[in-house]
């Protein structure tokens, strides 16, 4: 079975010859843009033989237009990147040239943060939460969040119609133990998340969610219960969930990815070939072969040996 059929069957919960597998890494600063970025992604793909590629947005995180936010009124002055700007053209070139480089043989999912997550990364947690949680500042912050959401919907449309990427992978945050209450998440963050995911789902049936969170774990996973996507990551090491429990907790998500820890002390980093292959087989046994992608719930360390990743695929081929 070829990689695309294997992945799409898994995302549709149809029979596949084996579960697909994947890992992804942030590239070095020198390989964030242009041909070095494309070459770094291709090297990861060729070295490991992963079934699907999450192509990273590194180098295109900052949506500030150079504006520093101090007072809440400044949220109304942010000039976000435009669809016809180098900010988008560079990402289009990245996706298209990478897919050309690998011969379109594996599904490619392009990475994006949700608008709320993007604002946290761009301006920092302190200012974002200060203004979101302040009654007087909140209207200004939500205005900017709304404008960025509309812009991200446009970007997603461009990525999914002007490239051969088969879907998006959106990084979700906002359900950590600090920050907002359940009610505030539902009122102020979830509508933006769902608008972006919904826009992507209209263009592709194969979008994924990276249930990330920033520190102070575990995430309050129930806040994402009604989100809809083809797949989502499951962090069995930092969140209170197992691979077997994921389908019942997220009824609107068809497939789940995870099982390996990626901390410096983890098995995938330090384990032997025999140990890593045994863990891959154990993950499949726990999750079940249908609707499961073997991998990690977060970004693997840059120095993780590609050989260790390849061992995971070799284990699956032997099941």
Peptide bond preceding 141 in cis form (omega within 30 of 0) = no
- Evaluated on CA atoms 70, 76, 79, 81, the torsion sign reads positive
What is the side-by-side order of every strand in the sheet holding 292-296? 21-22, 292-296, 253-260, 229-234, 208-211, 167-172, 108-113, 53-55
What would the mean pLDDT of 65-77 be, rounded to a whole number? 97
Question: What secondary structure letter does DSSP report for 118?
Answer: H
Contact 196, 240 (CB under 8 A): no
The pLDDT value given to residue 2: 97
Pair 85, 62: CB distance under 8 Å: no
pLDDT tens digits, one per residue of 293-304: 999 999 999 999
HSE (side-chain half, CA atoms, 13 Å) at 64: 15
CB 93: neighbour CB atoms within 10 A? 17
In the numeric block, the tokens 């999914």 are attached to 160
The rounded mean pLDDT for the chain is 97
Percent of the chain beyond pLDDT 90? 96
If pLDDT is split at 50, 70 and 90, which confidence band does 178 have? confident
> H or E segment at 55?
strand 53-55
Residue 214 pLDDT > 90, yes or no?
no
Rounded Cα gap, residues 282 and 276, in angstroms: 10
Q: Look at residue 177 and tell me whether its pLDDT is greater than 90.
A: no
Q: For residues 15 and 215, what is the distance between their CA atoms, to the nearest angstrom?
A: 37
- What does pTM read for this prediction? 0.96
Q: Is the model more confident about 156 or about 318?
A: 156
Each residue's pLDDT tens digit, 231-250: 999 999 999 899 999 999 99
Please give the C-alpha separations between residue 249 and each of 69, 197, 208, 296, in angstroms, as whole numbers: 38, 19, 16, 19
DSSP one-letter code for 112: E
Average pLDDT, integer, range 272-299: 97
């Amino acid at each position: 079975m070829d990689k695309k059929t294997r992945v799409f069957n898994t995302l549709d919960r149809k029979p596949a010859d084996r579960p697909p597998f994947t890992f992804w890494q942030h590239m070095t600063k020198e390989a964030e843009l242009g041909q070095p970025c494309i070459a770094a992604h291709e090297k990861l793909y060729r070295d490991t033989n992963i079934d699907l590629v999450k192509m990273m947005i590194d180098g295109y995180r900052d949506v500030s237009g150079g504006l520093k936010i101090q007072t809440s009124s400044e949220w109304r002055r942010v000039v976000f990147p435009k669809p016809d700007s180098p900010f988008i053209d560079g990402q289009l070139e990245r996706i298209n040239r990478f897919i050309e480089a690998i011969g379109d043989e594996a599904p490619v999912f392009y990475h994006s943060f949700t608008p709320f997550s993007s604002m946290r990364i761009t301006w920092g947690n302190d200012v974002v939460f200060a203004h979101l949680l302040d009654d007087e500042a909140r209207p200004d912050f939500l205005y900017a969040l709304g404008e960025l959401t509309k812009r991200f919907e446009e970007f997603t449309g461009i990525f999914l119609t002007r490239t051969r990427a088969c879907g998006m992978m959106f990084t979700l945050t906002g359900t950590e133990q600090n920050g907002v209450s359940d009610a505030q998440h539902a009122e102020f963050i979830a509508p933006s998340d769902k608008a972006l995911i919904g826009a992507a789902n209209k263009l592709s049936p194969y979008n994924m969610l990276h249930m990330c969170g920033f520190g102070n774990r575990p995430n309050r996973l129930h806040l994402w219960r009604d989100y809809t996507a083809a797949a989502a990551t499951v962090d069995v090491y930092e969140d209170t969930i197992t691979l077997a429990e994921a389908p019942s907790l997220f009824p609107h998500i068809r497939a789940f990815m995870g099982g390996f820890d990626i901390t410096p002390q983890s098995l995938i980093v330090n384990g032997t070939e025999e140990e890593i292959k045994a863990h891959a087989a154990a993950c499949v046994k726990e999750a079940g072969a249908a609707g499961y992608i073997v991998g990690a719930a977060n970004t693997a360390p840059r120095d993780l040996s590609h050989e260790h990743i390849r061992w995971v695929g070799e284990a699956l081929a032997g099941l």
